[in-house]
Amino acid sequence: MQLPFFSKKSSEKPREDLICKQCKATVPAKDAVKNRFICPSCGAYLTMTPQDRLHLVADKDSFTAFRDELKSVNFLHFPGYSEKLEKAVTATGEPDAVVCGTAAIDGTPCALFLMDTRFIMASMGSVVGERITRTFEYATAHRLPVVGFAASGGARMQEGIVSLMQMAKVSAAVQRHAAQRLLYISVLTNPTTGGVTASFAMQGDLILAEPGATVGFAGRRVVEQTTKTALPEGFQSAEFVRDHGFIDKIVPRDALRDTLATLLRLHAPRNGGIA
């Protein structure tokens, strides 16, 4: 197995102001950080980048990104995909829709992956699948827990069947990690849908979710077409999915770091226990 090398990412760009999708208020970056990415005017959850997320949950300066030079390719010559990729790379400064690495959460080391909805709705193509797979492989080899922040529109259809196979590839790596009795905490953020829900997002030992996040398999419109009735408000919300028994806990953003820290501590290897 090829292990990724470590590198410190030092390209800290100045943060841009955020716009609340609910009340349209402009939230200065400084205030957003201070308020843990909850809109100070209306209380809605602001869209977070992987870097914001790290800032929220990981110990200061503890994050080390896996260094790779992976780049998505329009291998099917799918109409419009090359342009979409280019736009997303420019907009995010990232090569694809997930950031992976290691960090500490209140002192407990773990491997992390953080999906980025700004990049083609964090759809999963070859690069996303490969990066998350390597994260689980690294965590298995180094006996680390994995904390994953899921967010995705689903599989990246512009990569055809190869994107579907990413679901199987990542799942196999999750299975190997689990077989070593290592912890995987899946945190569902807005929105977690499609092939990501139908694979690693729902394979956590513990599944947490942010309040109000959309969590589902089929899209709302598809369900409405199938059922031929309008769906109630809150259908496929994290609370709905928890009430139906598929999420362990809804965790507000300002409690996320503490909850993760406690859960990680509760799973720390014990002396004389089962390693």
Partner 1 sequence: MTPYEKLKTVRRSDRPTARDYLDLLFEDRVDLCGDRRFGDDTAITAGIGTLDGVPVTYLATEKGRDLQERMRNQFGCPKPEGYRKAIRLMRQSEKFGRPVVCLVDTLGAYCGAEAEERGQGEAIAESILTLSGLKTPTLSLVIGEGGSGGALALCTTDRVYMLENACYSVISPEGCASILWKDSSRVSDAADALHITAQDMLQFGVAEQIFDEDFKHFPAMCKTIRRQMADDLKLLSTFSLEQLLENRYNRFRKFGIFEEGGVMHGTAL
Interface residue list for partner 1 (CB under 8 A): 68-73, 75-80, 126-127, 129-130, 133, 155, 157, 159-169, 171-176, 179, 194-195, 197-203, 215-218, 222-223, 225-227, 229, 231, 235-236, 241, 244-246
Interatomic CA distance for residues 204 and 144, integer angstroms: 14
Please say which residue, 58 or 99, places its beta carbon nearer to partner 1.
Answer: 99
Please say which residue, 239 or 246, places its beta carbon nearer to partner 1.
Answer: 246
- Residue 172 belongs to what H/E stretch? helix 160-179
Task: Say if residue 107 is exposed, middle or buried (CB neighbours under 10 Å; 0-12, 13-18, 19+).
Answer: exposed
In the complex, the smallest distance separating the C-beta of residue 262 from partner 1, rounded to whole angstroms, is 24
Interatomic CA distance for residues 159 and 136, integer angstroms: 22
Please say which residue, 33 or 218, places its beta carbon nearer to partner 1.
Answer: 218
First-last CA distance in the chain: 23
Please say which residue, 45 or 136, places its beta carbon nearer to partner 1.
Answer: 136
Q: Name 234's Cβ contacts closer than 8 Å, sequence gap at least 6.
A: 240
Over its C-alpha atoms, the chain yields an Rg (Å, rounded) of 18
How many CA atoms does the CB half-sphere of 165 hold within 13 Å?
7
In the complex, the smallest distance separating the C-beta of residue 228 from partner 1, rounded to whole angstroms, is 10
In the complex, the smallest distance separating the C-beta of residue 60 from partner 1, rounded to whole angstroms, is 31
In the complex, the smallest distance separating the C-beta of residue 10 from partner 1, rounded to whole angstroms, is 20
In the complex, the smallest distance separating the C-beta of residue 248 from partner 1, rounded to whole angstroms, is 12
Please say which residue, 38 or 235, places its beta carbon nearer to partner 1.
Answer: 235
In the complex, the smallest distance separating the C-beta of residue 206 from partner 1, rounded to whole angstroms, is 14
Please say which residue, 56 or 164, places its beta carbon nearer to partner 1.
Answer: 164
Reading the block at residue 121, the tokens are 């709705």
Structure-token match 């990724």, residue found = 4
Interatomic CA distance for residues 122 and 154, integer angstroms: 8
